[in-house]
Amino acid sequence: MEETKMTNPAETKIKDTVAANDVVLFMKGTKMMPQCGFSSRVAGVLNFMGIEFADVNVLEDADIRQGIKDYSDWPTIPQLYVKGEFVGGCDIVTEMTLSGELDTLFEQNGVPFDKAAADKIREANA
């Protein structure tokens, strides 16, 4: 007997959110009030660079909190998505910001951002 995998409501919400927004950050807390240092760092970078992004507070919904880990096959929060693609967590986003790869990713996907702000982050961390 073949087992059919039912899509759960959390998975549907995650897919819809990722599809509907150019940039999505699944995080602990919100972009205005992060609830952990790693989420704060990624939200801070995106905010500083002037990126418009949807924030999803995984602390409000245990199914989303586990569901996003299953969806990406990535064990930690925060998780950044750009144009439907999983980018990474805090360490990867930090590395990409400092190397300029994040700028390139946004440019290639037509996501507007403040290039001067991105340069300031790199200067401050040189």
Is the Cβ–Cβ distance between 56 and 80 less than 8 Å?
no
Cross-sheet strand order for the sheet of 79-82? 54-57, 23-27, 79-82, 85-88
For residue 36, say whether it is annotated as part of any ligand binding site: yes
Distances (CA, A) of 51 to 45, 106, 122: 9, 9, 17
Given phi > 0 = left and psi -120 to 50 = alpha, else beta, which region is 72?
Answer: alpha
Binding residues: 36
Binding residues for [2Fe-2S] cluster: 36
